[in-house]
Structures are given as structure tokens and as C-alpha cells.
Structure 1
């Protein structure tokens, strides 16, 4: 006796959905989460641009044991505030001597701001032959006031950002760089193009 197999077709009821709907139900939320994560750690600079605003006042300790205020920084003319990652970023330290003299020739004082301890920053600065004071923003309040936190995904410290403050305490120019070192010619070109100098 031979056994015959019968094909049973499974009828889909109106309440059952194709299996790809289940996959979509999983993939869409996963894709949205991915987009939020990528946007949160985006390589774009911060959304706000403080250029044109009044420069927030500050009074910060330095690597040389002094206190420096915005008023003292601007006493002799415009100043370029340089907010950087600091420790762990050799390019950030190399940037200081790279542009300092060229800025001084244009009557602009370079003022570096970092968030680590004065001792750590001073030791690292000495490796690069930097003997001038570096301002220490340990609680990051000044960096935050100038909108320098959260740039290029650095949520706990500045990245590689500049704010040019005129002697009348107005922020004239802000620039965020994705790279941790900018050659002097490129930097001066950006500054002069953006300010039409």
C-alpha cells in the first residue's frame, strides 16, 4: 500500500501580516536610534554661532599662577581665544607657536584656554617650547559660555575652536576645525576671508 501525501495549503487569515512587516517593525526603530546616535556624535560643529554677541566675561587661573580676565586680555587690542582639547592632543599645543607670531603681527593677541589642571597643561606646554600662560577653565564654564563644548562630538571639552574678540568686547569671528592642527597660512586665509581683512 502506498501512502499518498497531500499538500495542505495554509490559508492566511486577514489578521496575519506578512513576515516582512515584523522585520520592518524592528528595523525602523533601530534605524531611528542609529540616526539619533550618529547625530549626537556628529562631525558637525555646534549649532549656535556666538559671532556678533557680547563676549562673556571671565577671570581664569593660568599655568603660570596668575589670574587673567577678559578686560586684561583686551587691554591692548583684539584677542583670539583658542579653545582646545589640551592634554592628549599634540596638534593642539603645536598650534600655539604656529600662529602666535603671525597674529601678533596683525595686532591680535592669542589667548589659549584648556580644561585640564595647570600642572598637566604646563608640563605639556613645555614640551612644545610654550612659556606663555595658558588659561585653565577647569569647570568648563567659560568654554560653555562661548559655545565651545559639544563641538565635533566632544561633549566634555572644547575641540579646536577659535573666537576673535574685539576690544569693545564683541565676538567678531568664530571658527571650529575638525582637524587638530591648522597650518598658519591656512588659518590666516580663513581669518582674512571670513573677516574680509
Structure 2
């Protein structure tokens, strides 16, 4: 079988796989630097993420730093790392809470659902459908217990908190948080949503 990249820019006949992301080159087909730096695999299709808006970046930084400070020793928060959900599904969530042992491995390029305790997506205009529909259902199917979706409401974050229903394997909304987010799971968390870094 030929390498998947032999077919670029069209997908190979068998489609892209999660493992192909580890073999993407540093440069694009015309020598563009970091061409594949921000790409994820959604249902076998390569999705190139658009540049982040400042709100998006500030929110990722604030959540990652706060969760790292509050997490118990066996957990850690990381940002913009892949989760390998299946053969053709490898999204790159904005923030993850994972096992500390997995976070300590600096050679990792992705985590497995069993290592992930919380996934957070900060919605951008170009990613609304993926962040609101496609990704949550895939995270739930993979058994990731906790999911947060962050929306930008005129410059202020609103966090929608979901928990997996083990009977339906779907997420149920457990709260909508505006100024402050306080939840007991996956560990006690208290976040001032208005205190975004500059």
C-alpha cells in the first residue's frame, strides 16, 4: 500500500487515518512552513484550523492554568493536544484534563479516551458545527465523562457543562455558567470566568 501522503492534496482511496497525522511533514506541498501544524482528523477528513482570535487564546490559557493549579496530583491540564478516538477520528481539543502520568510523557502526540477526564472546546465562528455537534457526540461515544463548551457572549465567556449519561452514552447538560464556574467533578473546580489574562 502506498503512503497516504503520496495522494496529497486528495485523500488516499482508503481515507486518512489517525496514525497519518504523526507522519505529516513539517512543510506543505509548496514548501509552506508549519502547514500541518494545526490540523485534526474528523471522520477521516483533514480539518485545517483557522487562526485563533484573541478571546479564544486567552480562554485556553486561563482554563489550562487554573485547572493545573486546582487539579489533584494524579491529574494534569494540557492544551491543544490530540485525542485518538478511533481509526479515523483524532480531534485536537482546546483543553484537556488527563492522567498526570500521561502528561509527563513528553514524546506523546495524542492521548487515548481512557486517559482523558475532561475535554473543553472554545467555540470559534468557523468551528461552531464541529464544537457544538460533531465533536461532543464523538467524545461521548468514546466514553469521556466530562465535556465543557465555551461560547463567546459579547466578549464574556459562557461555559456549558456536560456529563456523560452511561445509559445513553450521550452528554446531558448539568449547568450553564457565566461569571463563575464551580463544579464538584471531575474534581472540585472554582474558576472566575471574568478574570481572563491580558
TM-score by length of 2: 0.29
TM-score by length of 1: 0.29
For the pair shown, which has the larger CA radius of gyration, 1 or 2? 1
Indicate the structure with greater helix content: 1
